[in-house]
Structure 1
Amino acid sequence: MNFERITVNPAQMGGAPCIRGLRIPASPVVATVAGGMSPDEIVSELPDLAVDDVWEALRFAAEAVRERELPLHRAA
């Protein structure tokens, strides 16, 4: 999968995946959605972002999880 809006620069933000080269890491954007904010609300709080940036951060996170095993607790 190709991510045009996610960039990684080792000299910026410790090499964390960021949105379009901005100093806005993808992970807090995803966490903000998980916390209940809509993409439109996020963009109003962070006007350097576009709604498409938020959606791409979510797609990036989904792909990152798909690529590795995570420790999960089994339901009893």
Structure 2
Amino acid sequence: MNAPIMKPFRQHNRRVISYVPRVEPAPPDHAVKVEGFRDVWLLRGKYVAFVLVGEHFRRSPTFSVPEAAQRWATQMRQEGEIAEE
């Protein structure tokens, strides 16, 4: 019995699409700004902070209280200022 011939891994007539990691451009439309906090948004029942670092927004993990999300945002801002110096 003959060994099966394996197909080439890549089709030569197709372009190779390189992976670009997703960057949140800004808080999504369905997020609601939390009053009294600079960077905190309510997203699906949890509090999330969005901070502009360089040209991109960084999104925090989800928090159950808005104060924790704001602390994360403040820390990210301070780290960003240290990195730019």
TM over 0.5: no
User: Could you state the TM-score of these two structures normalised by the residue count of structure 2?
Assistant: 0.32
| Structure whose residues are more often strand by fraction | 2
Report which structure shows greater RCO (CA 8 Å, sep ≥6): 1
TM-score normalised per structure 1: 0.35
